[in-house]
Amino acid sequence: MPNFIELGLQDQWVAALRENGIAVPTPVQMETIPLLLAGQDVIARARTGSGKTLAFLLPIMQKLDPARAYPQALIIAPTRELALQITEEARKLARGTEIRILAVYGGQDVDKQLRKLEGGRHLIIGTPGRLNDHLRRGTLELGGVKTLVLDEADQMLHMGFLDEVEALIQALPHKRQTLLYSATMPAEIKRLASFYTRDAVDVTVKAEKSPVPLQHIRQLAVEVTDRTKQQALVSMIETYRPFLAIIFCRTKRRASTLNSALLEQGYASDELHGDLSQAKREQVMKRFREAKLQLLVATDVAARGLDVEGVTHVFNYDIPHEVDSYIHRIGRTGRAGGKGMAITLVSPRDKGELQRIEQGINHTIERRRYEKDGEIVEAGASRASAVSPGRGGRKEPDRRRGQQRPSPGGRRGQGAGDKPPGQRQSRSEDKGSRSSSRKGDARGGAGRGAEGSSRGQGRSGRGAQSGGRRGGRSGRK
């Protein structure tokens, strides 16, 4: 396996990677970095979490000339969150250099962006709407751009940005390098790629027949009814004990309603959707990355490209209508070789959607059924075959006093002693909680032993960020 030096990267960029704990290139990086350094147009398809961001960022950074104070590369992303994430990764690489980077997206102070543009920026990363706004104002000059990247191009099509993307492309020099990176490539994006690229190399990275990493993400479909769906979700959270989890809803209203319900039950939860201000969205993501939240209730705005360490579970509270959406949702977990679980709550009317998803991913998803009393049984089985803890079923509570189960953000009544995924302590018994140990653990007190000697200490504790979440990584960004 070649290393980054053998791929053609200079020592300073390899050193920057090493400082960020990255030493081994991923398959998409191995296949595309040499092509990009050679100036070749590339259309790259690789599943989510495969390291696409660094695959195009590294060659771009190496080609930028800090002495030329104008935009030399443009990266277009479908969402603000993804634009910010790419910007963060680019700034990590550029630390200690004279390369200047600017993120351009809606919800941000336009005048502030104008001042930074006037000062000269080498790399622009932005969303289609705000980039076009600057073009119309005459405040963004793209005549010196040598490299264009369309990241998550299929999502831009899905979100209706295709016209705005084409307007941006037409403002660029005809002689340039064009790169498209995505997990899927619908027909319309193929048309766009063929029209705006020159002799592009089509790179498809497939490690297996399924477009999702089956060896890393365990998938479950849990049969529920509309009336039991919320209760079932809470039961799933208590059964599988996520370190960090993203819960996907179909609409902004449903996300907000569900988040309110989870907060009322004492969970460290927040919502992420398009109705929030940009400042609020950034604040929510910051808290989630720092593990001050345990649950993030989101619409599909969070499904594309976001890379948050420590996401152990994804819950599809509402089943997605499209296979691509399912792939990108569950791709928030099981990243860079880590283990994850994706649980989809399926009502009777969702069974057709579930079958289409299974056909699309070429995999049969495990079936379970949720009973009203909280039991999880195999679909079609009798109640006597309730799933055992070892097979992902409901766990019996540990009633030893004085111990706590760790939580990243701290649900109400827990202390600060959180642990990374896989390291769990026994749950304490809270005499004031309901008789159901599941509810008691979710909301209850810290226990009366050495680790939770007072109720006040338990309630004030917020889980510190787990050191275990930042262990060694491969070239995933």
Q: What is the CATH number of the domain that holds 107?
A: 3.40.50.300
Residues 249 and 141 in one domain: no
Would you say residue 321 lies in a domain?
A: yes
Would you say residue 397 lies in a domain?
A: no
- Answer with the one of 175, 205, 235 that is the final residue of a domain: 205
Residues 348 and 385 in one domain: yes
Number of domains composing the chain: 2
pLDDT for residue 321: 85
pLDDT for residue 1: 67
pTM for this one? 0.58
Residues 226 and 194 in one domain: no
- Answer with the one of 183, 205, 227 that is the final residue of a domain: 205
Q: Please list the rounded mean pLDDT of every run of 10 residues in the chain (477 residues).
A: 90 91 88 95 81 93 93 92 90 92 81 73 92 89 94 78 89 94 80 88 71 78 93 92 94 94 96 86 90 93 72 95 83 80 94 89 89 76 46 36 39 39 38 38 37 36 38 43
Residues 124 and 235 in one domain: no
Residues 267 and 374 in one domain: yes
Would you say residue 450 lies in a domain?
A: no
Residues 181 and 237 in one domain: no
pLDDT for residue 31: 93
Would you say residue 5 lies in a domain?
A: no
Residues 66 and 121 in one domain: yes
pLDDT for residue 91: 93
Residues 327 and 194 in one domain: no
Would you say residue 471 lies in a domain?
A: no
Residues 19 and 139 in one domain: yes
Residues 193 and 134 in one domain: yes
Residues 222 and 174 in one domain: no
What range defines the domain where residue 242 resides? Answer: 217-391
pLDDT for residue 431: 35
In 3D, which of 39, 73, 41, 56 has the Cα closest to residue 193?
41
pLDDT for residue 415: 35
Residues 253 and 137 in one domain: no
- Answer with the one of 205, 226, 249 that is the final residue of a domain: 205
pLDDT for residue 291: 93
pLDDT for residue 311: 93
